[in-house]
């Protein structure tokens, strides 16, 4: 089956600016010129295609792509343009929007490539600091020169072309302190430039090494968002503030993936592949090299690395109940790892955005979605969150409902009346049909096996002396039984031990009677299945009788409890001669 990926391509690490908070730091110098700008992208796309992997989006990122020569820039853009034309059908037929060539740029040198941008309808995404007064403080040239005037002049040049052009700005505490200026500058850009400010984006900055800026607290993130809404709702920028400016936190973005390593990739000119811009040059997010590694290796590295990061950071129990996990998926693994935190660094902001947007209601299937998420990223926790009831819409009452309405049934299904100790490990036995998880143990002919039965269970009947512990042993081999010709596990034996015999033994657990069943199980050692787990059930004679009576009296119960409902454990029996 064809797999679709989002591919960011970094043809050059070179940048003509040295922004004070740039995450690439010293990596933005790339003086080496070669002929690999286009070759690497072509090579990667062909190699992916051979592995039946199709990029549905190829975007150019930096460094700064506009530092390429006019020819290299033109050839790259032309290639991407043609790529979309050639792959139009497969991309659109699989539900992806067909893009145009797209660049991320600091806009400082864009005039050099205007012809190519016009010719291939390149969409442009630029970066500014807001308020603009802070742009010249943080976004400087390598020589420390100011850049705002040139960039605004360049934006003016874009007026003549119809292409999509937008900007984005990253917000730290220092920006937030000048929020009124930000509002003023957004209005200025909207009224005085060709930028589509309804298609503008905010990003919430996070702490990186040596950054001079302070990340917003979660509380201030929400304050910032609310102030923006207050200023722009019901204005000509209503659409923007409502749907676009904070779109980074909606399901349209990569953080909505259970595992972004299955879909998002960043390719550098030297063939190195990383997760994305955030993970670029970070070993933990390095997936391999397209020239040196097989596509399978790169894909495997990607999904296992992201899985491991999410898994090892643990799961925040609050996320199981907030009902927005289906949207946020606990956030970006890069920032979670950076902050050593198990939920999104914008958690409060995201909750507020979802709350304000009717497109993102609270999850009515939260139990299921929490389980599905955990099963993918935290399988060690998934059993605890296994959804209770699959037949919510059914007219038939659930087994749990029927049990809750019948005192006697509660004992049949209780999870604390039987304990089984195998050597030094004790298992709390649960009803076969209620338990979420199958436990299969290995018993050897040297194992000591002790059953504990809770005091009062054998006595809870009209004539306790006639009651017995009821043990059923079934083989893993199947046989076809009875009138319904249903394949069932083959019965090996049924054994009853009457109450007065059970209760006479000394017990090392105060609330339980104790009985050693080692020899009982050994007696049938030649009858166990070696390939399939065997099955051992415990109940009492009185409870078993009541189960069948209930089956007779209540058809709904019968439907749920067609298989033996009693507490059980599955096992393999290992004999010495098997070695």
Hey, is 534 helix, strand or coil? strand
Please state the φ and ψ torsions of residue 407, each to the nearest 5 degrees.
-55, -45
Going by the DSSP 8-state scheme, the letter that residue 211 receives in this structure is -
Question: Closest separation between CB of residue 444 and another protein, Å?
Answer: 5
Do the beta carbons of residue 573 and residue 476 sit within 8 Å? no
Cβ closest to another protein, residue 410 vs residue 438: 438
Q: Which residues pair with 3 in a beta bridge?
A: 53
Residue 256 CA to residue 368 CA, distance in Å, equals 17
Residues 458, 512, 439: CA angle, nearest 5 degrees:
95
In this structure, what DSSP letter does residue 480 have? E
Looking at the Cβ atoms of 59 and 147, the one nearer to another protein is: 59
Looking at the Cβ atoms of 236 and 394, the one nearer to another protein is 394
Length of the chain: 579
d(CA 172, CA 167): 17
Nearer to another protein, 8 or 419 (CB): 8
Residue 27 tokens, joined: 């990596």
Burial class (CB in 10 A: 0-12, 13-18, 19+), 103: buried
The residue (of 211 and 341) whose beta carbon lies closer to another protein is 211
Q: Is the dihedral of CA 335, 336, 339, 344 positive or negative?
A: positive
Least Å distance, CB 128 to another protein, is: 9
What residues pair up with 323 in beta bridges, in sequence order? Answer: none
**Tokens 């709904």, residue?**
556
**What Cα–Cα distance (Å) separates residue 189 from each residue in 130, 159, 397?**
11, 13, 61
Minimum distance from residue 150 beta carbon to another protein (Å): 18
Least spacing, CB of residue 12 vs another protein, in Å: 15
Q: Shortest gap between Cβ of 99 and another protein (angstroms)?
A: 7
Q: Considering the complex, state which of residue 425 and residue 504 has its C-beta at the smaller distance from another protein.
A: 425
Instruction: Tell me, letter by letter, the H, E, C secondary structure of 496-518.
Output: EEEHHHHCCCCCCCCCEEEEECH
CB of 22 to another protein, least distance (A): 6
Spatial separation of the C-alpha atoms in residues 146 and 149, rounded to whole Å: 8
Between 477 and 554, whose beta carbon lies closer to another protein? 477
Nearest distance, CB of residue 163 and another protein, angstroms: 9
* Phi-psi group of 88: left, alpha or beta (phi > 0 → left; psi -120 to 50 → alpha; rest → beta): alpha
CB of 115: closest distance to another protein in angstroms? 20
CB of 283 to another protein, least distance (A): 16
- Beta strands 534-540; 418-422: pairing state: unpaired
- Exposed/middle/buried for residue 333 (C-beta within 10 Å: 0-12, 13-18, 19+): buried
DSSP 340: T
Question: How many angstroms separate the CA atoms of 474 and 564, rounded?
Answer: 11
Please report the sign of the dihedral spanned by the C-alpha atoms of residue 455, residue 461, residue 462, residue 463: negative
- What is residue 189's DSSP assignment? H
Q: Between 218-232 and 347-356, two packed helices, what is the crossing angle to 10 degrees?
A: 30
For residue 224, the minimal CB distance to another protein (Å) is 15
CA angle 252, 255, 257 (to 5 degrees): 85
| Nearest to another protein of 378, 544 (CB atom) | 378
Q: Strand pairing of 418-422 and 264-268?
A: unpaired
Nearer to another protein, 1 or 504 (CB): 1
Query: What does the longest C-alpha to C-alpha distance in the chain come to?
Result: 98
Least separation in angstroms between CB 403 and another protein: 20
Identify which of residues 379 and 456 has a Cβ nearer to another protein in the complex: 379
Strands in 35-85 per DSSP E:
53-60
Task: Using the minimum distance from each CB to another protein, give the nearer residue, 62 or 271.
Answer: 62
Nearest approach, Cβ of residue 365 and another protein (Å)? 6
Least distance from another protein to the Cβ atom of residue 203, Å: 4
Nearer CB in complex with another protein: 41/276: 276
Smaller CB separation from another protein, 440 or 465: 440
- Closest distance to another protein from the beta carbon of 334 (Å): 8
Q: Which is nearer to another protein, 37 or 285 (CB)?
A: 285
Sign of CA dihedral 374, 376, 381, 387: positive
């Amino acid at each position: 089956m064809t797999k679709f990926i989002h591919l960011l391509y970094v043809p050059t690490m070179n940048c003509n600016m040295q922004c004070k908070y740039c995450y690439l730091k010293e990596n933005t110098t790339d003086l080496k010129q070669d002929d690999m700008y286009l070759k690497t992208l072509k090579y990667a796309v062909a190699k992916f295609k051979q592995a039946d992997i199709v990029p549905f989006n190829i975007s150019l990122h930096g460094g700064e792509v506009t530092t390429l020569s006019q020819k290299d820039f033109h050839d790259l853009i032309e290639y991407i343009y043609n790529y979309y034309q050639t792959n139009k059908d497969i991309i659109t037929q699989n539900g992806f929007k067909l893009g145009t060539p797209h660049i991320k740029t600091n806009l400082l040198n864009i005039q050099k490539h205007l012809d190519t941008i016009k010719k291939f309808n390149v969409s442009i995404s630029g970066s500014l600091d807001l308020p603009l007064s802070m742009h010249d403080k943080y976004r400087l040239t390598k020589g420390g020169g100011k850049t705002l005037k040139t960039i605004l002049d360049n934006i003016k040049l874009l007026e003549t072309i119809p292409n999509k052009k937008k900007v984005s700005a990253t917000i730290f505490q220092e920006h937030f302190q000048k929020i009124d200026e930000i509002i003023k500058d957004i209005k200025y850009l909207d009224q005085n430039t060709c930028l589509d400010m309804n298609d503008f984006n905010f990003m919430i900055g996070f702490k990186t090494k040596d950054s001079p800026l302070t990340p917003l607290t979660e509380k201030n993130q929400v304050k910032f968002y609310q102030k923006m809404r207050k200023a722009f709702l019901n204005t000509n920028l209503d659409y923007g503030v409502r749907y676009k400016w904070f779109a980074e936190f909606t399901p349209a973005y990569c953080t909505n993936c259970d595992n972004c390593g299955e879909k998002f990739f960043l390719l550098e000119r030297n063939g190195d592949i990383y997760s994305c811009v955030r993970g670029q040059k970070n070993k933990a997010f390095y997936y391999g090299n397209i020239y040196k590694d097989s596509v399978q290796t790169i894909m495997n590295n990607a999904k296992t690395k992201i899985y491991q990061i999410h898994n090892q950071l643990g799961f925040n129990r609050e996320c199981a109940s907030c009902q927005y996990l289906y949207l946020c998926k606990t956030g970006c693994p890069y920032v979670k790892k950076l902050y050593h935190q198990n939920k999104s660094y914008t958690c409060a902001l995201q909750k507020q955005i979802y709350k304000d947007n009717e497109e993102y209601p609270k999850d009515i299937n939260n139990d299921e979605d929490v389980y599905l998420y955990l099963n993918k990223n935290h399988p060690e926790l998934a059993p605890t969150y296994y959804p209770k009831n699959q037949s919510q819409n059914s007219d038939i009452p659930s087994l749990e409902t029927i049990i809750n309405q019948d005192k006697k049934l509660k004992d049949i299904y209780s999870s604390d009346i039987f304990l089984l100790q195998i050597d030094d490990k004790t298992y709390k036995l649960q009803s076969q049909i209620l338990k979420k998880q199958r436990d299969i143990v290995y018993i050897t002919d040297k194992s000591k096996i002790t059953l504990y039965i809770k005091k009062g269970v054998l006595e809870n009947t009209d004539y306790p002396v006639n009651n017995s512990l009821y043990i059923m042993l079934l083989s893993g081999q199947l046989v076809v039984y009875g009138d319904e010709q249903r394949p069932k596990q083959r019965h090996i034996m049924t054994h009853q031990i009457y109450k007065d015999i059970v209760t006479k033994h000394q017990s090392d657990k105060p609330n339980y009677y104790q009985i050693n069943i080692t020899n009982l199980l050994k007696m049938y050692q030649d009858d166990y299945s070696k390939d399939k787990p065997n099955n051992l059930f415990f109940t009492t004679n009185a409870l078993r009788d009541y189960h069948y009576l209930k089956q007779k009296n209540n058809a709904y119960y019968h439907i749920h409890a067609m298989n033996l409902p009693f507490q059980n454990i599955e096992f393999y029996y290992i004999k010495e001669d098997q070695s």
